[in-house]
Each structure stands twice: as structure tokens, then as C-alpha cells.
A and B are shown apart, each in its own frame.
Chain A
Amino acid sequence: KQEVTQIPAALSVPEGENLVLNCSFTDSAIYNLQWFRQDPGKGLTSLLLIQSSQREQTSGRLNASLDKSSGRSTLYIAASQPGDSATYLCAVIGVVADYKLSFGAGTTVTVRA
């Protein structure tokens, strides 16, 4: 069974600092990994999707890397802003049951103005 872990569970930084969020997964047989953002009481917004054949994806200030062999992904957010405050979730799709997203518990980020 795929287990997805996100460390740290919570993070508080001053505005302007770079954010580094970590995600690890136990089964490296994945199709892709997806990073989501969730604001309090709201749904999930997809940020980046990395295919298993890719090493990284970039969108604006966001960069996500994937090391499938070691079961790790890192989300970098450059020059953080108070609007980046949210919970960030990573999820993987395994080769077996490829419709099933396995989620981590999330990292809750607070960016202080």
C-alpha cells in the first residue's frame, strides 16, 4: 500500500523567504505526482503535475522536483508572499490502480507579512 508522508506538518516563514516543502512515498512505481494547494475550508487547486519520466516542473515562482528512485519530491516556492499561506498537499498515482490518488497529510504554510 502506498504511503505518502509530508514534512514538516507546519511551517511559518517571514515574507520574502524561499519555501521548501518535502514529500516522500514508499512505492516508486508511480505514473505521476501532483502538488495541490488548499485554502481553509476550500477545495484543492492543482499546482503542478510531474510525470514519472520527468525530473521537474516549473510554474512561475513554483518549482517541483521528482526523484522517483528515492521516492521523494520537493516543492520550492520562491520569494514567499502572505498570499502563499495555505496547506500544500502532494499526491501520487501508482502504476497499480492508476485512478487512485494517494495523498499526504499536507504541510500548512504561514507567510508572515
Chain B
Amino acid sequence: ETGVTQTPRHLVMGMTNKKSLKCEQHLGHNAMYWYKQSAKKPLELMFVYSLEERVENNSVPSRFSPECPNSSHLFLHLHTLQPEDSALYLCASSQDQATSTYGQYFGPGTRLTVT
């Protein structure tokens, strides 16, 4: 596989459930990102990891918990979510934390619905 992959592609969960989103990049990049895309809103940066260390937590509620076990994998653990958390969650990666030269590459996203 090439590029950035995300699983699952679709997820429906109740407010009391616990689930995890997975992202994997096959590009040899050192930085990975989680974004949230809600209807009619610009993409919002949630978390940034560089060399497996979190460098940004953009005021995200604690019911979202990221994990980066190595530079190729990124997880987003979800628990006690709210209906307003329903959105498309996008993962991205870049060569390094400073993406000025090469830009960011995005996965296909996970469509999350919280019931």
C-alpha cells in the first residue's frame, strides 16, 4: 500500500462506546496530524506529532486521546463522545514538522457518526 491509509472508513458509535481510529503512512514521513472536518466548516487541526512526540494539542476535549507508537502509525481513541463530534476525521503526514517545502499528504478519512 502507498500513501496514507485510514481505518475504519465509516464508524457509527453510541455516546457510551469506546472506539479507535487508525492511520498509517507508508511515505517514510516523520510528522503526522489529526484533523476534524465538520459540515460547512474549514478543517480544524486537532493534534500534531513529530518523531512520535506530541507538539500540538489544539484545545481538543479530553474525550479524544491520540497515540503515536511509531512514526508510521497514529491512533485517535474515542470515548463518551457527543453527537456534535460527528464529522470526517482526516489523518495527514509530512516529511517533517516544518512542512514548508513538501506539504502535507492526507488519508481518505473516517466518517464518524455519534448516535
Task: Write the nearest CB–CB distance from B3 to chain A, whole angstroms.
Answer: 9
A83 contacts chain B at the CB level, 8 A cutoff = no
Q: C-beta contact mask, B102-115 vs A, less than 8 Å → 1, else 0? A: 11111111010000
Cβ–Cβ < 8 Å partners of A91 in chain B = 43
Question: Which residues in B have their C-beta under 8 angstroms from that of A43?
Answer: 4, 6, 90, 106-109
Contact check, A46 vs B105: say whether CB atoms are below 8 A apart.
yes
Residues of A near B107 (CB, < 8 A) are 43
Binary per-residue interface labels of chain A (17-35) against chain B in the complex, 1 for a CB within 8 Å, 0 otherwise: 0000000000000011010
Contact of B56 among A4, A32, A100 (CB under 8 A): A100
Quick check: is B7 within 8 A (CB to CB) of the other chain?
A: no
Closest chain A residue to B3, Cβ basis = A43
A111 proximal to B (CB < 8 A): no
Q: Name the distance in Å between A34's Cβ and chain B's nearest Cβ.
A: 5
Residues of chain B with a CB closer than 8 A to A103's CB = 42-43
CB B92 to nearest CB in A, in angstroms, measures 8
B-side interface size class: 20 to 34
Whether A99 and B42, one on each chain, are in contact in the complex, defined by CB atoms closer than 8 angstroms, is no
Tell whether, in the assembled complex, residue A46 and residue B103 are in contact, meaning their CB atoms are under 8 Å apart: yes
A101 B99 Cβ-Cβ under 8 A:
yes
Number of A-B contacts (CB under 8 A): 68
The 0/1 profile, CB within 8 Å of A marked 1, for residues 38-69 of chain B is 00111101001010000110000000000000
Residues of chain A within 8 A of B6, CB atoms compared: 43
Taking CB atoms and an 8 Å cut-off, the chain B residues in 59-113 that contact chain A are: 88, 90, 92, 94, 97-109, 111
Q: Could you jot down 29 A-B contacts, CB within 8 Å?
A: A31-B100, A32-B101, A34-B103, A42-B109, A43-B4, A43-B6, A43-B108, A44-B92, A44-B106, A45-B106, A46-B104, A46-B106, A49-B102, A51-B100, A51-B101, A91-B43, A93-B99, A93-B100, A98-B98, A98-B99, A98-B100, A99-B31, A99-B50, A99-B55, A99-B94, A100-B45, A100-B48, A104-B42, A105-B41
Task: Report which A residues bind B (CB closer than 8 A).
Answer: 4, 31-32, 34, 36, 41-46, 49, 51, 89, 91, 93, 97-106
